[in-house]
Amino acid sequence: MYINSLAFAQSQDQQDPLHSFRNEFLFPTDEQGQKLIYLCGNSLGLQPKKTSEYIQQELNDWSKYGVEGHTDAKNPWLPYHEFLTNSMAKIVGAKPSEVVIMNSLTANLHFMMVSFYQPTKTKYKIIIESDAFPSDKYAVESQLKFHGFDPKEGLILWKPREGEDLCRFEDLEEIMKNQGDEIALLMIGSTNYYSGQSFPLKKITKLGHQYGAIVGFDLAHGAGNIQPNLHDINADFAVWCTYKYLNSGPGSLGGCFVHERHENNSELKRFTGWWGHNKQTRFNMRHDFDALVGAEGWQLSNPSILSMAAIRASLDVFEEAGFDNIRKKAVKLTGYLEFLINDLKNPLINIITPSNPEERGCQLSIQVKSADKNLHTQLTKAGVISDWREPDVIRIAPAPLYNSFEDVFHFVVKLKIVLKNG
């Protein structure tokens, strides 16, 4: 299927129906103006060329209309988040009414737990994967403390077995079998930031619901990378950021999913703000809170138009490319990276990410035994932008919208040279 040659990589790029989208993005360059090999979209996606145009449009309308831009701008600001909804819903597999762009990821996680983490004295524990992104762990620990529980008792970690790098579903089943009556919430990262392992979201949701637990997902490394099919798998909620695979710029707004079965549940507690209030009476100011139906009802404040303009620029590229096409290329491109790494036949290298394409997204986490961050430094000097995670892992993520097979080929050549030179 794959061949270890530059000619093969170039032929794959020529046959790639998405190859032209590479030209829609801006690449960092070296001092000579040459494009760097950018394989770090799992930390921060590249800027679409459309972004400056989209943001400039809002700056122009701000200068032209002032406050009247809320209604008179080319893209009126009052409903601006609605311009993003349909495209975002397709990417996460949801109904438009179940999705909203708002806040940042960890803030959204807290707001979701206000509604969906409702512990009792006997059913209060939360499960996360043991190597979840630190912010997730901090958030759930603080929620446990807020409700008067000791995180040492209330936080349950789904761990890989000793000597292994990946979590096994049967071990999660065992946790639920032993402690399911005490577990109120499963809050799992859909795709683990460190290992690159994508978890079986439908099976996890079904398992949690069997024991009467709420199930939510952090899609920080999933949105724009895998297709979580949030509606069909019956997840209760999900949160994500938009600046990784969704290319919306550093610190840009995040997203929320709330399954439609919860949209009219008056028993759910929530923190509220005026932007979640009925649009028809929002500006009358003196009405009692009247929540919008669907995920929009969890909004608090009017969102940043400039951030949403950047999100819109990227989502328009996704819409044009088609997410199914993006995912197909991701499988093939990451498979080629895996093939080339394995073809090095270097005993120091171990890919800890699952080999099954259904159990991973774009990212491969490459463990280089006995290496330290100097390896990453040398790769950077060689013109590769990647990501280092202690103690010995390089995270490489060929993003299908802007990375090529030739990018992947040249990266592995440079890795081989750096390893050889020690």
pLDDT at 285: 80
Tokens coding 58: 């809002």
Mean pLDDT calculated for residue range 131-139: 94
Of all residues in the chain, the percent with pLDDT exceeding 70 is 100
Name 57's bridge partners: none
pLDDT band (50, 70, 90) for residue 371? confident
Check if the beta carbon of residue 179 is closer than 8 Å to that of residue 149.
no
Task: Read off the pLDDT of residues 325-354 as tens digits, 9 standing for 90 and up.
Answer: 999 999 999 999 999 999 999 999 999 999
Q: What is the mean pLDDT of residues 402-415?
A: 98
Residue 57 tokens, joined: 């449009």
Any domain includes 293: yes
**What's the mean pLDDT in 99-125?**
97
- What was the pLDDT predicted at 287? 87
| Strand, coil or helix: 70 | helix
| Residue 319 confidence (pLDDT) | 97
Helices vs strands, H then E, count in the chain: 14, 15
Comparing CA positions, the residue from 76, 124, 84 lying closest to residue 100 is: 84
Q: What does the pLDDT read at residue 264? A: 80
In a domain, 41, yes or no: no
Cα 320 to chain centroid distance, Å, stands at: 20
Would you place residue 292 in the very low, low, confident or very high pLDDT band (cuts 50, 70, 90)? Answer: very high
Q: Are 259 and 215 in contact (CB under 8 A)?
A: no
* pLDDT-derived band at 75, boundaries 50, 70, 90: very high
Q: Residue 205 contacts by C-beta under 8 Å, 6 or more apart in sequence? A: 215, 233, 234, 235, 236
Q: Which residues contact 153 (CB under 8 A, 6 or more apart)?
A: 125
**What's the domain count of the chain?**
2
Q: Give the CATH number, domain containing residue 399.
A: 3.90.1150.10
Amino acid at 223: A
Per the listing, tokens 């490489």 go with 396
> 349 in a domain, yes or no?
yes
Confidence at residue 421, expressed as pLDDT on a 0 to 100 scale: 85
Tens-digit pLDDT profile for residues 179-226: 999 999 999 999 999 999 999 999 999 999 999 999 999 999 999 999
Tokens of 340: 């080339």
Q: Supply the range of the domain harboring residue 262.
A: 56-319
Supply the pLDDT for residue 284.
86
Q: Report the pLDDT value the prediction gives residue 84, as an integer from 0 to 100.
A: 98
Q: Which of 271, 303, 319 is the last residue of a domain?
A: 319
Tell whether 271 and 367 lie within a shared domain: no
CATH of residue 90's domain is 3.40.640.10
| Residue where a domain stops, chosen among 285, 319, 353 | 319
Please state the φ and ψ torsions of residue 164, each to the nearest 5 degrees. -115, 165
Q: What is the mean pLDDT of the chain?
A: 96
340 shares its domain with 313 = no
| 267 & 170 share domain | yes
pLDDT of residue 267: 83
For residue 42, report the phi and psi dihedrals to the nearest 5 degrees.
Answer: -75, -10
> Do the domain assignments include residue 220?
yes
- 175-202 in b/e form (b: 16+ CB < 10 A) is bbeeebebbbbbbbbbbbbbbbbbbebe
Q: Is the pLDDT of residue 58 over 80?
A: yes
Nearby residues of 10 by Cβ (< 8 Å), 6 or more positions away: 405, 406
Residue 19 and residue 132 in one domain: no
Segment holding 26, helix H or strand E: strand 25-26
Asked whether the predicted pLDDT for residue 315 surpasses 90, the reply is yes
Residues 6+ apart with CB under 8 A from 276: 289, 291, 292, 296, 297, 298, 299, 300
The mean pLDDT value for 248-265 works out to: 95
Under the banding of pLDDT at 50, 70 and 90, the label for residue 156 is very high
User: Residue 247 carries which DSSP code?
Assistant: -
Q: Do 300 and 328 have their domain in common?
A: no
Q: Both 222 and 304 in a single domain?
A: yes
Where among 319, 339, 357 does a domain terminate? Answer: 319
Mean pLDDT across 131-145: 96
Same domain for 116 and 150?
yes
β-strands 99-102, 37-38: how paired? unpaired
